[in-house]
Amino acid sequence: MTQQPAPQDTQAERNTAIVLTAMRELFTDKDLTAIDRYWAEPYVQHSPQMPNGLDVLRTVVPGLEGFSWEPQRVAAQGDLVFTHSIVHGWAAGPVVIVDIYRLENGRIVEHWDVVQDLVATETTANGNAMV
């Protein structure tokens, strides 16, 4: 008898696939129609520099020059997906971002982030890489 994954695990796997696809299509491919496929209103934004709503994504994404999003780690639990990424083109220099997405009915409806400047491993106090 094969063991079936718990419904929570299946939801987490589906949500992870949605977030990775959504971020690639919107930020790498710069396909603004991805917003209509993978995000939903009301979109609640917790990043202190960004207002609520999807219009800000439609405005910001086309102007991003040299943007790249390189997820290094991804985890999910229930309706939440967490990514730990190296990002170029969001700030003056490369940054490390932990993003948290909440999904509802297969759509991204809420977002939190923590952003840090990427520091070279040899200059950290502990000698450990940030990602």
CATH of the domain at 91: 3.10.450.50
Prior bond to 42 cis, omega within 30? yes
pLDDT of residue 7: 57
Comparing CA positions, the residue from 75, 44, 77 lying closest to residue 85 is 75
In a domain, 21, yes or no: yes
CB 35 within 8 A of CB 127: no
Per run of 10 residues, the mean pLDDT along the chain (length 131 residues) is 62 96 95 98 95 95 92 96 96 95 98 96 94 92
pLDDT of residue 13: 94
Parent domain of 72: 7-123
In a domain, 62, yes or no: yes
pLDDT of residue 8: 57
pLDDT of residue 6: 55
pLDDT of residue 9: 72
pTM: 0.89
Domain count across the chain: 1
In a domain, 84, yes or no: yes
Q: Which two tokens stand for residue 108?
A: 């991204």
In a domain, 56, yes or no: yes
Who contacts 13 (Cβ-Cβ below 8 Å, separation ≥6)? 5, 76
